[in-house]
Structure 1
Amino acid sequence: MKTWQGISEFAAVAELHSFTAAAHQLGLSVAQVSRNIAALEQRLQMQLLYRSTRSVSLTEEGKLYLPHCQHLVASLRDADQAIQQRTQQPQGLIRITAPVYYGERFIAPLLNDFLQVYADCRLDLQLTNEQVDLIEGSYDVAIRLGQLGNPRLRARKLGSRRHFVVGSPAYFSQFGCPQNIDDLDEHRCFTGTVKQWRFQVDGKLETVRPESYLHCNNGLALRDAAIKGLGLAMLPDYYVTESLENGQLEEVLADFRQPDDGIWALYPENRQVIPKVRVLLDYLSEKLILEK
């Protein structure tokens, strides 16, 4: 039984309201389109189209059947496209946005390496800490850190990051170390773009909004202030790992450290990711994991 016979032809005729236009779109003769739809109606034992010399319209059964056929045709087209893309060489312009510091330190060097491998690609990288609109800005990919919230975008996790509450040995010598999150009320705390600090207490997330001794929307500035003994900062690993290793900073409240959050690639909602973007995401994911 030729289960698929007539499906594409019926969907095309229903959408274009013309056997001639459907035949042209499908690369078939009008007679062949008509025969295949007739065979479909015969198999279903019901009429799907009203035909006249001037017009084509759907029967009630045709209206019910059409969305299912359109879904099948679209799925088949996506399957064909997906398998074809596996052999396509990525090429053309890719527009990317990323946070400033993370972009400078990690993303930009990897993109430069990517261009050495895929010479037919071109890149437009915009570094900004603003949450730019991918659709309006015509971006292919946005690198985002932490919590996500845009339902219009698809997300792929590229890695993770860990937050530390840190201070200098000189600060702890003068002011002591906080033993629990309630002790933060007695300490000088810095705040950045996010003014709330998250902790995990007895398996549950708790949020603290410390009084800001120093506020700055730049992580490097907050790290410098912490190294100089001015107070405590909560910063991601890529700001403080080296300073923790060389003793400039020390971690406190490690038992209450919040769960690691994500490093994400966001891209517009499409049925299939175009080859150049898919290859780029694969590349970034592999390299960022290796750097951990």
Structure 2
Amino acid sequence: MAKWEESEIFVSVVKHGGFSAAAEKMGVSKSHVSRQISQLENRLGAQLLQRTTRKVTTTEVGQAYFLRAKELVEGLEDAEKAVMDLQATPRGNLKMTVAGGFGEDFVAPAAAEFMSQNPELNIDIDFTNRTVDLIAEGYDLAIRAGVLSDSTLIARRIVSRSLCICASPDYLARKGKPESIQGLSRHNCLLGTLPTWRFRSSSGHSEQRLEGRWRSNNGRALLSAARQGLGLVQLPEFYVRRDLAEGTLVEVLKEFQPTDTGVWAVYPSNRHLSAKVRLFVEFLVNYCREHNA
């Protein structure tokens, strides 16, 4: 580091024509500049500058050193500028993993709009239900729903998520409405990836293992089965919003609706977070708010 500072100060002295101008430009004292130049000349065993009361000029050796050192200093300045530009403008490749209807209805259209506004950006969206190792598999970002497990990853809530239990009027006419969580054991429950549903309880939140004749890792497949009167389903509110409004599905056990779930943007670290991730997450939050996610 000392060697680099000596060279950087030497280049500044030559470029700005003197010790005082270099000191002012770099925000250091004139004595510090003089000391660094002396140390550099002593280390190299050569006189680099000719000093008079009126001006400072390079010796022949000093001019040769200046030309090489100037390239290095300017190269570092360019590298730092490139990093700062990347922090300010989304560019390069943004690789994210998403799953389910939220990804289809909100993340994908938001990403398309974001990319149209940032022509230097490429986007790669991987739809999968499996747990992805963001760092090992080279992902910048994951959009995950539900309750997050403890992790070293950084998470930001995109939207809150309500889980609704509902069924078709036909199914409820045939089987009756459940009045308690325990009463679900007498119903056909349409199950997703997990064999459990989540509930709000007097102790906070709980999970109940259930049984059913229909299972799918796709929310729209579960929704189709519920519309056909095959059983009860627990789905995020955005899946069933229209059906509830139109009466094709009826919500039950609303008092047990969990309150601790959400949709999250998850990424490896918020230290030196790249512009492409930081700005897309902000864009997605606003997009979801504007589109009533």
TM-score by length of 1: 0.71
Measure how far apart 1:129 and its partner are.
Answer: 1.4
CA deviations over 1:200-252 (Å, ceiling 9, x no partner): 12362122111223222222121111111111111111221111111111000
Cross-structure match for 1:20: 3
Q: C-alpha offsets along residues 134-193 of structure 1, whole Å, 9 cap, x if unaligned?
A: 112211111111122252311111112110111110111111101111111111112111
- How has the CA–CA distance of structure 1 residues 230 and 34 changed in structure 2, closer, same or farther, with 3 Å as cutoff? farther
| Separation in structure 1 between the aligned mates of residue 5 and residue 133 of structure 2, nearest angstrom | 38
3-state SS of paired residue (1:212): coil
Offset at 1:102? 2.2
Equivalent position of 1:238 in the other structure: 238
Measured in 1, the distance between the counterparts of 2:100 and 2:204 equals 32
Contact kept? 2:86, 2:274, Cα under 8 Å: no
Matching of residue 215 in structure 1 with residue 215 in structure 2: yes
Deviation at 1:88, TM superposition (A): 2.6
What is the distance in 2 between the residues matched to 1:28 and 1:147?
A: 54
Which amino acid in 1 is paired with 2:3?
A: T
Higher CA-based Rg: 2
Contact 2:145 2:263 in 1 (8 A): yes
Whether 2:244 is the aligned partner of 1:248: answer: no
Contact 2:100 2:219 (C-alpha < 8 Å) held by counterparts = no
Which residue does the alignment assign to 1:189? 189
Match of 1:16 in 2: none
AA at the equivalent of 1:169:
P
Please tell me whether residue 285 in structure 1 is matched to residue 268 in structure 2. no
Going from structure 1 to structure 2, the CA distance change for 1:222 and 1:252 (only over 3 Å counts) comes to same
Output the amino acid matched with 1:99. Answer: A
Q: Distance in 1 between matches of 2:135 and 2:194?
A: 25
CA distance in 2, matches of 1:265, 1:248: 32
Q: In the alignment, does 2:71 pair up with 1:88?
A: no
How far apart in 1 are the matches of 2:33 and 2:258?
62
Report the aligned-residue RMSD: 2.7
Aligned to 2:168: 168
8 A Cα contact 1:163 1:260, kept in partner: no
TM-score after normalising by structure 2: 0.70
Return 5+ residue gaps in structure 1 as ranges. 1-11, 13-18, 37-52, 54-79
What does residue range 1-292 of structure 1 map to in structure 2 within 5 Å? Answer: 12=1, 19-20=2-3, 23-24=6-7, 27-28=8-9, 32=32, 88-149=88-149, 151-202=151-202, 204-292=204-292
Aligned length: 229
Give, in angstroms, the shift of residue 101 of structure 1. 2.8
In 2, the alpha carbon distance for the partners of 1:281 and 1:109 equals: 13
Task: Tell me the alpha carbon deviations over residues 28-57 of structure 1, each in whole angstroms, 9 at most, x when there is no partner.
Answer: 46x959969xxxxxxxxxxxxxxxx9xxxx
Per-residue CA shift, 1:82-135, capped at 9, x if unaligned? xx6698332222111111432222111111111222222121111111121111
- Change in 2 beyond 3 A, CA 1:34/1:204: farther
CA contact (8 A) 1:157 1:264 kept: yes
Query: What one-letter code is carried by the residue in structure 1 that aligns with 2:279?
Result: V
Q: Is the 8 A contact 2:143 2:266 kept in 1?
A: yes
CA distance in 2 between counterparts of 1:150 and 1:134 reads 15
% identical aligned pairs: 36
Residues of 2 paired with 1:87 and 1:215: CA distance?
44
SS at match of 1:136: coil
